[in-house]
């Protein structure tokens, strides 16, 4: 069942119940007031009837000069007054002290127990009595009281027909019920229309959510209407933006993982194929051609070393991405000097010079990981540099940032490939990189370490001129040179 239908039905039901209860209460109050008015009028008429009978009996006694008139004469006087004073549908009874009917006018019978009830009352007693009649149910209002006539106690009772009052009340009830039914239909139609109109924007929200659930994350809701609907639309739009952003991130992550797995499978396949092939050749030719054993073993060792380097880089990359860093104050100039010292043997073999320019700076960093970042950058620069060229490693301040640069004079990187060099397994010159023992993970590892340190890593390269990689680290502090006894340090390692 639709929400708008539920709201409209509930509102109509509550309204109709409230109207019916109110009108029924008003009718009941009005009927009670009219019935009480009938009781009061009947009591006044009964008292007037008693007074007239008393006066008539007293007048009869005075006019006849009698000491006391007889009961038969009292009955005659009462009958005469009943005939003169009562209306067509009224009845009247005169009873003696024992409760026996002395005279009556009308066709009605005396209700059981009425005489006893009147005898117990000190004032006028009224009673409503309903009886079956040939024309239907008839309601009569009885009034009774005791009266003293010529020293004897009598009971006078009279009744009037008030069936019309009840008929009018029941007619009003039926009228109210009919009006209530008509009002119910009209009000229900109005409430249904208004509720559906007011809740129509919810249908728009529902349709938009259905489209978003179906994968159309670009759907948005217009922010207009009532304040509640505007807030709802804004929340739905924020949710859609969040879902769209997460979807794109997940899609990008899935694509990156696919590329990573494809590249990993390709990188592992080549050395494994070489190792397996040369191992089989060794197995077949070791006895017949012992002179090839050293060469085959050298190839196997080389490929195994590549696999070991690849697995180490992968482990380092994964641990860096998933682990938490313990960043402590670290002397950046000391790190640069340690990295430069570690490359002394490699520089001699490659006939490359490494020059360092440092300032006494302190950054908050994980020392081992940041040293790995610097080592990878210098290692890439040394591998890219031709013999008898120089690699520059420098750090300096730029406002509240420490800027580290690593420059070489190698072949450079084509502009169309510079945006991908930080992707895992991506290599601009695959044959030369594999020959040098690379796996395309160095710069990806550097980018991850930089991200963990809230640093920014960027690359500028010109073909046949060289490449400069820059790492910008926030939150550095400069050491007071007078206190440390040191200054900016320049060195050249070859």
Domains with residue ranges and CATH for the chain: 3-178 (3.30.450.20), 217-321 (1.10.287.130), 324-493 (3.30.565.10)
Say if residue 270's pLDDT is above 60: no
Beginning with the edge strand found earlier in the chain, give each strand of the sheet holding 125-133 in spatial order.
101-105, 91-95, 152-161, 136-149, 125-133
Tell whether the torsion through CA atoms of 257, 258, 259 and 261 is positive or negative: positive
Confidence of residue 472 (pLDDT cuts 50, 70, 90): very high
Percent of the chain with pLDDT strictly greater than 90: 18
Structure tokens at 306: 């590549």
Confidence of residue 479 (pLDDT cuts 50, 70, 90): low
User: 75-79, 143-147, 352-356, 414-418: lowest mean pLDDT where?
Assistant: 414-418
* pLDDT, tens digit (0-9, with 9 covering 90-100), for 295-354: 777 777 866 775 676 566 556 555 555 556 678 898 988 989 988 888 887 888 889 999
* pLDDT, tens digit (0-9, with 9 covering 90-100), for 96-106: 988 888 999 88
Confidence of residue 135 (pLDDT cuts 50, 70, 90): low
* pLDDT, tens digit (0-9, with 9 covering 90-100), for 371-411: 878 888 888 889 889 998 999 999 998 888 899 999 998 88
State the pTM of this model.
Answer: 0.45
Say if residue 436's pLDDT is above 50: no
Those residues with Cβ within 8 angstroms of residue 292's Cβ, 6 or more apart along the chain or in another chain:
281, 285
156: left (phi over 0), alpha (psi -120 to 50) or beta: beta
* pLDDT, tens digit (0-9, with 9 covering 90-100), for 28-83: 999 999 999 999 999 999 999 999 999 999 998 888 888 888 999 999 999 999 88
Residues 289-310: b if buried by 16+ CB within 10 A, e if exposed: eeeeeeebeebbeebeebbeeb
Distance CA 31, CA 36 (A): 8
Distance CA 49, CA 56 (A): 11
Report, as an integer, the average pLDDT of 344-365. Answer: 87
Structure tokens at 467: 């490449």
316 CB neighbour count, 10 Å cutoff: 17
Stated as kind and residue range, the H or E segment containing 391 is strand 390-398
**Cβ–Cβ under 8 Å, residues 94 and 78:** yes
Structure tokens at 196: 């559906």
- 3-class SS at 324? coil
Helix axis angle, 200-213 relative to 227-285, nearest 10°?
0
For the chain, give the longest Cα–Cα distance. 178
Q: Rounded mean pLDDT of the chain?
A: 79
H runs (alpha helix) in 343-437: 344-350, 367-384, 430-435
Distance CA 260, CA 425 (A): 7
410 CB neighbour count, 10 Å cutoff: 22
pLDDT given at position 45: 92
19 or 488: which leads in pLDDT: 19
Is 469 exposed, middle or buried (CB count within 10 Å of its CB: 0-12, 13-18, 19+)? buried
Distance CA 46, CA 156 (A): 8
**Cβ–Cβ under 8 Å, residues 16 and 183:** yes
Residue 31 sits at φ, ψ, to 5 deg, of -65, -40
- Residue for token digits 């038969």? 72
415 CB neighbour count, 10 Å cutoff: 10
């Amino acid at each position: 069942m639709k929400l708008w239908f539920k709201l409209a039905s509930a509102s109509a039901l509550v309204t109709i119940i409230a109207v019916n209860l109110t009108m029924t209460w008003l009718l009941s109050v009005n009927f009670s007031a009219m019935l009480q008015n009938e009781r009061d009028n009947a009591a006044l008429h009964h008292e007037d009837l008693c007074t007239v009978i008393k006066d008539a009996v007293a007048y009869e006694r005075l006019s006849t000069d009698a000491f006391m008139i007889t009961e038969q004469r009292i009955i005659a006087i009462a009958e005469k007054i009943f005939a003169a004073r009562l209306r067509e549908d009224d009845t009247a009874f005169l009873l003696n002290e024992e409760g026996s009917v002395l005279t009556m006018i009308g066709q009605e019978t005396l209700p059981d127990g009425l005489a006893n009830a009147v005898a117990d009352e000190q004032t006028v007693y009224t009673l409503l009595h309903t009886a079956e009649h040939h024309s239907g149910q008839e309601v009569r209002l009885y009034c009774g009281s005791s009266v003293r006539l010529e020293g004897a106690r009598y009971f006078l009772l009279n009744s009037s027909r008030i069936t019309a009052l009840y008929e009018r009340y029941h007619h009003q009830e039926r009228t109210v019920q009919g009006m209530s039914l008509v009002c119910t239909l009209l009000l229900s139609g109005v409430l249904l229309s208004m509720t559906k109109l007011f809740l129509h924007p919810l249908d728009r929200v529902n349709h938009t959510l259905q489209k978003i659930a179906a994968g159309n994350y670009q759907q948005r809701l217009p922010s207009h209407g009532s304040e509640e609907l505007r807030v709802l639309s804004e929340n739905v739009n924020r949710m859609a933006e969040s879902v769209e952003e997460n979807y794109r991130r997940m899609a990008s992550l899935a694509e990156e993982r696919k590329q990573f797995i494809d590249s990993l499978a390709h990188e592992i396949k080549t050395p494994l194929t070489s190792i397996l092939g040369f191992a089989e050749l060794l197995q077949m030719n070791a006895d017949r051609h012992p002179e090839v054993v050293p060469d085959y073993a050298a190839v196997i060792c080389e490929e195994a070393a590549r696999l070991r380097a690849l697995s180490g880089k992968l482990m380092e990359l994964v641990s860096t991405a998933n682990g938490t860093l313990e960043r402590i104050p670290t002397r950046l100039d000391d790190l640069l000097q340690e990295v430069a010292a570690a490359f002394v043997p490699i520089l001699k073999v490659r006939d490359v010079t490494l020059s360092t320019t440092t300032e006494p700076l302190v950054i908050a960093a994980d020392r081992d990981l940041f040293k790995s970042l610097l080592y990878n950058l210098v290692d890439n620069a040394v591998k890219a540099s031709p013999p008898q060229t120089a690699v520059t490693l420098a750090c300096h301040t730029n406002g509240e940032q420490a800027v580290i640069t690593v420059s070489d004079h190698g072949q450079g990187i084509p502009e169309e490939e510079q945006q991908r060099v930080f992707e895992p397994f991506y290599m601009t010159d695959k044959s030369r990189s594999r020959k040098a023992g690379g796996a395309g993970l160095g710069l990806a590892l550097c980018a991850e370490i930089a991200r963990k340190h809230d640093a920014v890593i960027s690359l500028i390269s010109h073909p046949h001129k060289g490449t400069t990689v820059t790492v910008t680290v926030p939150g550095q502090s400069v050491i007071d040179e007078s206190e440390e006894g040191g200054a900016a340090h320049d060195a050249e390692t070859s």
